[in-house]
Amino acid sequence: MSKIIWTRQAILAIGIVSVGSAFGQVNNRTDTEFDNNKGIAYTRHNLTQTSPADASSSPNGALMDAFRNNYGQVCVYCHTPHGASSTVEAPLWNRTRKSHTFQTYDLLNTVTLTQTVTQPGPNSLTCLSCHDGTTAVDSIINMPGSGGYDLAQETQDDDGAINAFLGGWGPGQGDTFQHMKLDANTSNPDSCLSCHSPDGIVAAQSFAMFAIGTDLRNDHPVGITFPTANPDFNVTNGSTARGDAFFDNDGDARMDKGEVRLYNTGDGPEVECASCHDPHGVESAGVGSDFNPTFLRVSNVGSSLCMTCHVK
């Protein structure tokens, strides 16, 4: 049986049918077919988009195969056991990154901000390597199997060169397919949002809120130092040898995944994306329970995430 390859045209045709049947409906659905429990393979960060438990209820892995390399491994989109980045301070990091300057929150000029803001640190750049929409989600340094490995790709800014490199990966995939990104510009034909947004097709969930971009003025500040001796903020009660600080809720002196943390990569403890989020998911109520929504370390029901740091 030959492999069914979904082309952009075929999927757009489905989209048109569903536009017709759902006349007037805007596709701003954000619900997911993933279970959001057990492990990262059951979350939206499984970019193979194939459910390990039940391939028949797989969230459309094959349907997406024309738009990113399906490496068939969950971790490899972010990590590799060998040949990882030697410059990004993140565990065995396998993603390429582009050089650019982010517009940081302080440029908004609010009168209340007291702390120093720098460019996002490594524990934000990891997330932004997909969520700023400038790099294809499958753009990695070390591809699985006998596929490509090229550390020179790590800081490659030229999309053409990166796509040529990614296109070399097999079997039978990559060369003729697209390598799409989470670009908020929905008219970019290389953006997942060309389908997954209110401007896209009704059949596909909207990822509009996930496309953070390089302008961070409208996002909670990151790369910002955490105040000490400021009555508006709670005091951390845990720290690591490197000088990271955390709220040690269970008192085990370990920075657990469900504990909000401040990363020290040289400027003292700072808020970064991973202060609030764990990209692998964190159980909401112990082993086996559903993960907190949106990969949060702490549930934000009753604003409890916010109140971990802020005294309000």
- Specify the stretch interacting with ligand HEC by CB under 6 A; choose among 43-51, 144-152, 158-166, 237-245: 43-51
Q: How far is the CB of 75 from ligand HEC (least distance, A)?
A: 3
Q: How far is the CB of 161 from ligand HEC (least distance, A)?
A: 19
Instruction: Give the burial string for 106-122 (b: 16+ CB within 10 Å, else e).
Output: beeeeeeeeeebeebbb
Assess 204 for contact with ligand HEC (CB under 6 A): yes
Looking at the Cβ atoms of 123 and 163, the one nearer to ligand HEC is 123
Q: The tokens of 59 are what?
A: 């969230």
Query: In which residue are the tokens 């989109």 written?
Result: 77
List strand residue ranges (DSSP E) for the chain, in order: 224-225, 238-239, 245-246, 261-262, 270-271
Residue 225-264 contact track with ligand HEC, rule CB under 6 A, x = bound = -xx-----------------------------x--x----
Instruction: Give the burial string for 195-223 (b: 16+ CB within 10 Å, else e).
Output: bbbebbbbbbbbbbebbbbeebeebebbb
Least Cα distance to 280 among 73, 38, 58 occurs for 38
Q: Is the omega angle on the peptide bond into residue 81 within 30 degrees of 0, that is, cis?
A: no
Q: How far is the CB of 122 from ligand HEC (least distance, A)?
A: 7
Assess 127 for contact with ligand HEC (CB under 6 A): yes
- Specify the stretch interacting with ligand HEC by CB under 6 A; choose among 11-19, 20-28, 154-162, 168-176: 11-19
Binding residues for ligand HEC restricted to 59-88, rule: CB under 6 A? 59-60, 63-64, 67-68, 74-75, 77-79
Residue 189: count of CB within 10 angstroms of its CB: 10
What is the number of helices (H) and of strands (E) in the chain?
5, 5
Looking at the Cβ atoms of 114 and 172, the one nearer to ligand HEC is 114
- The pairing of strands 224-225 and 270-271 is antiparallel
Assess 202 for contact with ligand HEC (CB under 6 A): no
Least Cα distance to 282 among 263, 294, 270, 295 occurs for 295
Q: Is 283 helix (H, G, I), strand (E, B) or coil?
A: strand
Q: How far is the CB of 125 from ligand HEC (least distance, A)?
A: 9
Residue 87-126 contact track with ligand HEC, rule CB under 6 A, x = bound = ---xx------------------x-xxxx-------xx-x
Assess 269 for contact with ligand HEC (CB under 6 A): no
Binding residue for ligand HEC (CB under 6 A) from 71, 177, 210, 246? Answer: 210
Binding residues for ligand HEC restricted to 172-191, rule: CB under 6 A? 180, 182
Assess 11 for contact with ligand HEC (CB under 6 A): yes
Binding residues for ligand HEC restricted to 20-39, rule: CB under 6 A? 30, 32-34
Cα–chain center distance at 21: 32
Binding residue for ligand HEC (CB under 6 A) from 88, 143, 184, 222? Answer: 222
